[in-house]
A and B are shown apart, each in its own frame.
Chain A
Amino acid sequence: MTNINLIEAVRSYINRMIEDCGPTIKGLVMDKETASIVSMVYAQSEILQKEVFLFERIDIPGQKSLKHLSAICFLRPTEENIQSLVRELRDPKYGNYFIYFTNFVELNDIKSLAEADEFECVRVVQEYYADYLAINPHLYSLNIQSTYQHNYEWSDNLLRRTVQGLVSVLLALRKKSATIRYQKSSNMSRTLADKLSSTLKRQVDFTASNPNDINQTIVLIIDRREDAITPLLNQWTYQAMVHELIGIKNNRVSLSHVPDITKELEEVIMNAEYDEFYANNLYSNFGEIATNIKVLMEHFQEKHKSQSKIESIGDMKTFIENYPQFKKLSGTVSKHVTIVSELSRLVGLYNLLEVSETEQHLVCQGDHNDVVQVRLNHFKKIYLHLLILFLFNQNKKQKIKRLIKNDKVRDLDILRLLALYALRYERHASNELNTLKYEAQKHRKLPEKYIQFIQALLEYGGLKFRQADLFNTQTPMAITRQFIRGLRGVDNVYAQHVPLIKDLIDQLLRGKLKDTSYPNVNAKDQVNQQSSSQLQGQIIKPSEIIVYVIGGVTYEESYHIQQMNKQSARIIIGGSYMHNFPSFIDEVLFAAPSSLSAASTELLSSKRR
């Protein structure tokens, strides 16, 4: 149903480049970032079929002339790249140059390139807006590992890069303009929204004819700090799980740490574009994958049997005909069997089922007993819920304590629990975080970094910043919803948590996202104010929604968006980085106002108060 596909958008750009170059031998000249942009959507073997024989980086020198090759230069319009190109053009290696920039280029740069082109070998200079990493059809990333500078502000470079990335997503999908809504509580998201809006307006070639068009793309800018929980959780869908437990980097998964791994499986490529099994199971949960992989194995064994039985020339022939497929299949099988068995090994080894269950309880239900008391007075109507919870709910603290003592559980997972506990009961009277921390220190040596992280996390996404009701504890509505979820029985205890972003999008779609907390950039203009306030009455139907999360997205969020898109929603999500817990720890620590020591953090925060 959805015809917006981020991967296809980049692929069609690359196809066009290769076609325009004609049937000669080609070399693809890239920079570090564009190299990963290309590798996300194209396998080298496939691009090779189009007579692209060289893949190289602009910053790598070498004198040997390649005059009979045409260079397709696919570069970001950065200063260094322009300089490298100028240098290259003054002493050209290739015979022809087809230059494609991923974003807006300054006219000055065009001029200096023109001056450098003494040999008149440049054929084409164009802007092709493929300035983002397309991970799935609905998921993109800008691969910025640490967005936050000190005091949670933008650095000029990263702000520029982010605006470029978002602009390119819009233009690659043929959207000239957009209604931009942003999270008001975050300075960074406001700055980004303003900059994006002004950048779009400045590009005369691309401004839409009718800015008040209702059928518009909505860009929703959210700050990760609003929902610091999602990156803390263990995941149980395939893609998310692989990222959480092993780590996916530009579709590559390193398996070198797996015991008894064969050489060829040390690093595998997990690209849903080229791997049918992976594509079908990206969003399957762990139980489903186990079943599916069994089917895959059986299928393979059948094939293998028929392959190994070669008796006649006819058999031989069919063998040869099917061999490439067979080989591909066997590659897929061995890859996924290795990964899935590694995952289940880790799950068992680290006792992840129990950890994850505790995590989900912490996030989705359960309370301190006294919270139950308070609620009883206030909301009798949900008495039943509380009754059930009361019986159902063991003391979370006890549970965490027990896990702390369990040697199988990783320090990292203890940290998850502590962090969740810290966020959950941040301003709670009987917050026993310190007891838990002490307990944890007593039984295991948590790295200093981990203790700092909890402090930094409270600064990052604690109540002081947060507005959203992440734990559904504040409004009766949210509590009832929580209650219903509990009553209906959870399909999967390990996947009860629903990320904030999904709720926000639901609200947005139903016209219930408050303008006060998620204002529209253009609403500030006097002219538009009236029309936009008029529009508030009716629900605006966007043609699609593009979400950007400052500070990174998770595969769990991607999964939820994908589920919505399956029901003919048209949503694209992306962020500065694809986070898993370890990378999130790094980002939070990096962003901490003063991450040197917990004490100084406290000092600073007390000063601020």
Chain B
Amino acid sequence: MLQAVGDVREGFICPQCHQDMSTMEMLQVHFQDIHMKQSSSTVKGLFSFAKQKIKSVQDNFTNIPNEQTNNYAQYFSSDQNDSSSKPQQIGYIRSYTDRFKKERKAQHDQISIETTRLLLRIEKLISTGENIPKNANTKERRKYEQDIVEWIDDAKVTLCPSCAKSFNLSRRKHHCRLDGFVICDPCSRFLLFSKARYLIEPSTSSSLPNGLSLQRSNSLTSLNSTTADNSAYKDRTNNEDYLRICLSCQKVLQRRYDQICFKNTQRDEVFVSYEKIVEAKKILDEIHSTYSTMIESLLNGDTKYQIVDAQKLYRQLSTCYDKIDSTSKHISKLADSCLNIDEDDTQSIIRYSALCRNMRMYAIHVLQNFAISTRRVPSEEDVKRAREERKRLIEERIESERAAKAELASRIPLTDSPTVKKKEVSGWRPTIDRNLLVQAQELNPLVQQVYQVTEYIRQAQIAGRLDEVESLKLNLKELEQALNHAQQQENVSTFDS
């Protein structure tokens, strides 16, 4: 490497063979290809070589990994790291609700138009008035019905459209009163007026006499579920008016009926009970928060609340508590009884009892949470002790403050009399002890302020104005700081002189 001065070369020169490489990369490639191999082929003593090699390989494999152990972050894009402190957002969501509703509307509009049309006709057909003929009066009645719905011409129909059997003497032609089509008797359905009324106004006639129970499984025109029943049922319905309708109309009406039933399903006892729990829980929540603050302040020795208040609230709390407990117990008992469920329907039974049990678990959990966080009402003695303790603390503090004051007073050189600023606090106003003022007059204005504020604090504490105390204390702190500062400066200045 000791070359003549004139032979200095610059650039990417190989340290081993002094060949000039034009770029860094080329140099690297060159060095790796030629010298690394060379060195490995020259035998320089196995151990020393091994050592060196180990070292370099170790550098490769240990150092780099060691850097990695500190940070893999370098390999990941950093602009996302900024958001890493934020909580993870919920993943993507795609909604089909609008599309679904559109489809549903398109699908069901046609049917609902049909339903409305039929309902309008029914309303006219079953309305009772003086000039509307009763069923008994067949001819007039028929005319009235035909006015509302145009009947199809008998002559055009030779087969019953639903059973495809031809009409003859024994299989006579009938008309559906709602759409006027011709049907045979076995294919007819009969809609009782009472049920028809229910279809039109479900709310008013909800107390139907004739066993129009709210179970959905019941067919609307229960008389016609099988033709065999027909005659028997007709006998029974003789005393009540009915409309003859065809199968397709019945289908539309049945759907309407199911929908009404669906909306008016009776609540099971479970749900009624559960609602009670929810209500009680709501009240419990409300009471609980005020109760906790009350207890807190009582135990602090505050005079804001009385024990009686707390006791009253506690009683309310425990009634709610009991209510939740007993209601949920009641629910869990219902689990075994399983009202209104077929015995074969085991899945429903399992589901129902699981529901009840889970409600009870939920209630227990709610109660546990409250039980843990609810403290008992402190006894008279506790409160008294707390109050005394507090009083003692306050007095102690005043005492120590006084001592501090005295100390302060001794330390502060006297200055001219200060002006006293009165603090206006709305509602409650601390008064200034005249004696103190006299004392204070001889003091530095800052010291005087300190006095005053400590005095205010004392008074405020006695009066139980916690927030005032807080803000006053802050003031005091600032004042003391200022005072210290002033004192220091003074000390320095005296020292200088």
Query: For the complex, is A255 an interface residue (Cβ under 8 Å from B)?
Result: no
- Which of B76, B93, B101 is close to A127, meaning CB atoms less than 8 Å apart? B93
| Stretch touching chain A among B355-363, B403-411, B452-460 | B355-363
- A329 sits at the interface (CB 8 A): no
Partner of A53, one of B85, B101, B359: B359
- Which of A8, A66, A172 contacts B92 (CB under 8 A)? A172
Q: How far is the CA of A49 from the CA of B281 in the complex (A)?
A: 13
Cα-based distance from A126 to B434 in the complex (angstroms): 76
Does B38 reach chain A (CB closer than 8 Å)?
A: no
CB contacts (< 8 Å) of A509 on chain B: these are 72, 75
Question: For window 29-55 of chain B, which residues contact chain A by CB distance below 8 Å?
Answer: 40, 46-47, 49-50, 53-54
A541 adjacent to B351 (CB under 8 Å) = no
Contacts of A62 in B (CB 8 A): 345, 347-348, 350-351
Residue of A nearest to B68 (CB): A567
Contact of B96 among A110, A321, A380 (CB under 8 A): A110
**Min CB–CB distance A441 → chain B (angstroms):** 42
Q: Are B91 and A173 in contact (CB under 8 A)?
A: yes
Instruction: Establish whether residues B345 and A3, one from each chain, have CB atoms under 8 Å apart when the complex forms.
Output: no
Q: Which residues of B contact A45 (CB under 8 A)?
A: 361, 365
Q: Name which of B10-18, B135-143, B265-273, B414-422 contacts chain A.
A: B265-273
Task: Name the distance in Å between B198's Cβ and chain A's nearest Cβ.
Answer: 18
Query: Are the C-beta atoms of A64 and B340 separated by less than 8 Å?
Result: yes
A-side contacts of B372, CB under 8 Å: 320-321, 324
A110 CB → nearest B CB, Å: 5
User: How far apart sit A111 and B108, CA to CA, in the bound complex (Å)?
Assistant: 12
- Count of B interface residues, CB-CB < 8 Å: 78
Q: Which residue of B lies closest to A506 (CB)?
A: B68
Of chain B, the residue at the smallest CB distance from A313 is: B376
CB closest residue in chain B, given A4:
B88
Using a Cβ cutoff of 8 Å, how many contacts connect chains A and B? 211
- Chain A residue at minimal CB-CB distance from B346: A62
- B354 in contact with A481 (CB, 8 Å): no
B345 touches A120 (CB 8 A): no
Given the contacts A115-B107, A129-B92, A215 and B352 also touching, CB distance less than 8 Å: no
User: Are A48 and B361 within 8 A (Cβ)?
Assistant: yes
**Cβ contact of A1, chosen from B73, B89, B217, B349, cutoff 8 A:** B73
Q: Is B436 among interface residues, defined by CB-CB distance under 8 A?
A: no
B255 touches A118 (CB 8 A): yes
Q: Beyond A60-B347, A567-B69, is A25–B83 a contact (Cβ under 8 Å)?
A: no
Partner of B267, one of A3, A68, A122, A380: A68
A3 and B86 within 8 A (CB): yes
Give every chain A residue within 8 A of B355 (Cβ-Cβ).
Answer: 27, 53-54, 66, 69
| B30 → chain A closest CB, angstroms | 20
Is there an interface contact between A114 and B83, defined as CB atoms closer than 8 Å? Answer: no
Closest residue on chain B to residue A214 by CB atoms: B77
Q: Which of A9-17, A415-423, A428-436 makes up part of the contact surface?
A: A9-17
Could you say which residues of chain B place their CB within 8 Å of the CB of A570? Answer: 76, 80
Taking a contact as CB atoms under 8 Å apart, the answer to whether B352 and A51 are in contact is: no
Within 8 A of B (CB), among A34-88: 45, 48-49, 51, 53-56, 60-69
Check if A383 sits within 8 Å of B73, measured CB to CB. no
Q: Which of A123, A126, A320 meets B93, CB within 8 Å?
A: A126
Q: At the interface, yes or no: B70 with Cβ under 8 Å from chain A?
A: yes
Listed by A's residue number, 22 A-B pairs whose Cβ atoms lie within 8 Å are: A3-B83, A3-B86, A53-B354, A54-B354, A55-B354, A62-B350, A64-B351, A65-B265, A66-B351, A68-B268, A69-B355, A125-B99, A126-B96, A172-B91, A215-B80, A317-B376, A320-B372, A324-B372, A381-B50, A541-B77, A565-B72, A569-B75
Q: Show the binding face of B for A, using Cβ within 8 Å.
A: 40, 46-47, 49-50, 53-54, 57-58, 61-62, 68-73, 75-81, 83-97, 99-101, 103-104, 107-108, 216-217, 255, 258-259, 262, 265, 267-268, 271, 274, 340-342, 345, 347-352, 354-355, 358-359, 361-362, 365, 368, 371-372, 376
Tell me the A residues contacting B by CB distance below 8 Å: 1-5, 8-9, 12-13, 16, 25, 27, 45, 48-49, 51, 53-56, 60-69, 92, 95, 105, 107, 110-111, 113-115, 117-130, 171-174, 176, 205-206, 214-215, 317, 320-321, 324, 380-381, 383-384, 480-481, 483-484, 487-488, 509-510, 539, 541-544, 564-565, 567-570
